Structure 1
């Protein structure tokens, strides 16, 4: 089988029993190119594009307690065309990654430690930590953009070869948060960042030519911890959430998140190219939301879907010492209880209506990005293993009828965020595939699966066996091949 080991990364990670450095989270150090992989079933010929996933892969023994979001970014990409598939994986060569490779060990402590533990000045809104570019990934202007949730520099890679293309030139001084959004209808990239200094948040628009076109403040009362944004055809949406760093501890350099249930969730809705004075503010029930889904305009209202946490600050999980128990709870969706939720903002009256769309614990959803910013019908959520940050299945939602369909991955099989890939020539919103990487602990392997989005309960139409078992991680994206090729012209 034509699989090539391209590089073996030098590491100093010792054997350990950390729950997020073993099992499905066992790190990778090898970089591969692979074609002609074993296929169970048949790769459809009506799929064209690239599935890209970002994962956290620690390379060195940590300074203090390791949090899985501290790991170095590794991009895994599998491309499809004419019934064939190619796989590659590469570490993101961030400044921090390269510096620690040169030093031969960790230089920065993670988010569970005081920044003073780091051996060098750090990056991002937290400060004192490494910008590992290991959180989110999108494809814009024909290239991958890899980002860090604490607002890093933004790293570009070629979506097919994974050739490193350096730091994005328009990165603002306060960085780019995870979850910039690509509007496929216009080719624009919408992004935000946040910091510990006024005005605490900024919002920007990058054109399809990859030039910064708009950058304005979204003034907040103090440092906040937003993680995502949403957009409609004409507006961008940001949240001031009542879970943020404890102000008294922050003054001492400690970054401890606290939920304030007596404070509302505030939403800032701004025209895409609006100014701060154009922002409309709305108040809703207190919660924390990691991820928003689609948003759209309907008459006088803006409709927004996302995952409302019923317990944003859960108690520590039993059986884990010290800081580890609290960390495990913050990684466990069954502790935080996110539920698919809908908000309606009346732009004429200022009224807010909201409520759950589903009472199950769900998160890390996806939808057909061709309808992003406009009303869509279908949404695909992931389910998780109780006590763990591990995806163990999918749920397809019909938002018009309220029906849903489920696909459990099976015992010991854990997936990745699963975006929607439209079928070539598709005319219906759910005509395409759900794409995911599955790590099978029983068979000690990883595979890429394609699932018919019209019938997820039928299971994968094909399984492509990857050259190695890959680590779990956070986010993934799908990019259509035609869009990539058009952007390169």
Structure 2
């Protein structure tokens, strides 16, 4: 086993940590189970259905080894050799009581493509949380969906009791790995805010294997955002984490070789939670939006535990991205922060308890229950860090333009965390999500914003070769009244939006819409360039996404032309199993996968080119050849190594 772990990058001298939790069965566990069942029977209506456990939100309970030679209508372009992966919530065990869409165990669905042929695989992200519930044969961790009314407080107490009595082992974290996927330094990472990254290996046949946690040689002591940024020009990864005590936000830079640099504390007055942030060529952009934790209202009015303060302003912090401290950060404000609930940074203000609750109940909500934080009680990270998908925005990109930082993002108005929770719904009330441009002038300190779309659009993606640089096109998902993805829309940022339409349709800055058709729904689309790098046209490539036909119960992968947005797909791959709706996706090119196989996760995958430029196989496989920023594309591994040796 030790030799096998060393081959996979697990063991001494490597930042991947094998996850081996030690939960405990026995009398204590049984007594807590009985107490929990009593609470549920007295205070929860178990007859109610769960919207996000029904229809195609329902989980698939079994994993699937690679199923090869799938039917393909059309053709799969050669540039798509690799693996398309998408992660989402997929609970292995039925909840004890409530269930929120963000609660499920992470499951990765993969489509392995090679020479026009396709194979499908699905695997759980084998987190500490999942392993412990498998040990017990049922759900043991509290759910976000439980956090309403006094019942919510009691369910939190059950979680704390299990941890205190060692029934559950929290030493490896309690995250689900269900939010996002990213590739860096030869590793595919499954991410979720409540945990460190999980490393998933893409095998030669397309199978997926969870190797363990990534702690960067024990340098990662805090949480890790689900949305780090990889600079395609330098190969570096930029990330951050949040904490319940100062520093509330910690910014990190990770080299192209996977070395995590020293922490940079970001000074913020209150504990905050950021789901996303942005980078440009020279800056990192942090965002601070007000989210209030209101346990009194939760108990009194049986409301969900979080609410926004629409009177607060939104703050945006711009920091030089290689800063050693935050002395040079520049903060901007935009008015009417209630329209910025989609912001990539969430801030909550602690509720002051005074005499409303006894100390033992207050202590349920402490991050560190051995240390008193006074009367200001921050939300426990095991609750908060899963609560973001529809409260915050999905950032498309940011760049520098003369004296301004430009941010392209989606904005959700009238957010309500409870709208993706609980019983089956016909529609989501007041659901509006719009594409926005925000500008921050570094010279005169003025911030401005401009609406770029009608509702509802989300999950914006770009050609990632332009991450942190000025780009023209944004690809978003169109959402219906129940937040299902009905199609993909292409925005042209060089064109002005047509005002007064009331809905998204072709014209103005909307250059194309791919409609999935009646009863068919999709997920986030990922851009795959025809040629790596920035030599070809920005929209020269393909969009790939999972889709499901509710009329037939069949799932598929669709490939569409990103340039033309033609209604006729380039390819449709029929899948052997149903794929539930999920969250974020990523495309791992075959060259990226080979970088793992050839050098291994600890050997590095970068070379110095002849002119001092960097060849980085973990970025977009581009080689800087000369000073005019031209790049060499479509070369094989031997050619790249020969160039590097010159």
User: Smaller-chain TM-score range?
Assistant: 0.7 to 0.9
User: Which residue in the other structure is 2:363 paired with?
Assistant: none
| d(CA) in 2 for partners of 1:462, 1:31 | 25
SS at match of 1:239: strand
Say if 1:223 and 1:245, in contact at 8 Å, map to a contact too: no
1:134-185 per-position Cα deviation (integer Å, ceiling 9, x unaligned): 1111111122111113x31210001343122100022733221211122222
| d(CA) in 1 for partners of 2:49, 2:306 | 26
User: Which residue in the other structure is 2:444 paired with?
Assistant: 349
Alpha-carbon distance change, 224 to 178 in structure 1, aligned in 2, over 3 angstroms = same
1:250 CA drift (Å)? 10
User: Which residue in the other structure is 1:7 paired with?
Assistant: none
1:408 CA drift (Å)? 1.7
| d(CA) in 2 for partners of 1:186, 1:281 | 26
| d(CA) in 2 for partners of 1:421, 1:244 | 39
User: Which residue in the other structure is 2:212 paired with?
Assistant: 166
Say if 1:224 and 1:244, in contact at 8 Å, map to a contact too: no
Say if 2:50 and 2:422, in contact at 8 Å, map to a contact too: no
User: Which residue in the other structure is 1:104 paired with?
Assistant: 137
1:192 CA drift (Å)? 1.6
1:76 CA drift (Å)? 1.3
Q: Does 1:154 align with 2:210?
A: no
1:255 CA drift (Å)? 7.8
1:239 CA drift (Å)? 0.5
User: Which residue in the other structure is 2:162 paired with?
Assistant: 120
| d(CA) in 1 for partners of 2:549, 2:47 | 21
SS at match of 2:130: helix
User: Which residue in the other structure is 1:394 paired with?
Assistant: 488
User: Which residue in the other structure is 1:309 paired with?
Assistant: 412
Say if 2:197 and 2:214, in contact at 8 Å, map to a contact too: yes
User: Which residue in the other structure is 2:23 paired with?
Assistant: none
Equivalent residues in 2 for 1:36-435, closer than 5 Å? 36-112=69-145, 113=147, 114=153, 115-118=156-159, 120-121=162-163, 130-149=174-193, 151-159=194-202, 160-170=206-216, 172-246=220-294, 256-274=305-323, 275-285=325-335, 286=337, 287-289=340-342, 290-313=393-416, 324=422, 332=428, 335-387=430-482, 389-402=483-496, 403-404=509-510, 405-424=512-531, 427-435=536-544
Structure 1: runs of 5 or more not aligned = 1-13
SS at match of 2:144: coil
Structure richer in strand, relative to its length: 1
Alpha-carbon distance change, 96 to 261 in structure 1, aligned in 2, over 3 angstroms = same
Of the structure 1 ranges 418-427 and 25-34, higher mean CA displacement relative to structure 2 is found in 418-427
Alpha-carbon distance change, 106 to 197 in structure 1, aligned in 2, over 3 angstroms = same
CA RMSD of aligned residues (A): 2.9
1:288 CA drift (Å)? 1.3
Larger radius of gyration: 2
Q: Does 1:472 align with 2:581?
A: yes
Of the structure 1 ranges 433-442 and 178-187, higher mean CA displacement relative to structure 2 is found in 178-187
1:351 CA drift (Å)? 0.8
Say if 1:48 and 1:424, in contact at 8 Å, map to a contact too: no
TM-score normalised by L of structure 2 = 0.67
SS at match of 2:50: coil
Say if 1:234 and 1:272, in contact at 8 Å, map to a contact too: yes
- Number of corresponding residues: 462
TM-score normalised by L of structure 1 = 0.87
| d(CA) in 2 for partners of 1:457, 1:43 | 16
Structure 2: runs of 5 or more not aligned = 1-45, 148-152, 165-170, 343-392, 497-508, 600-646
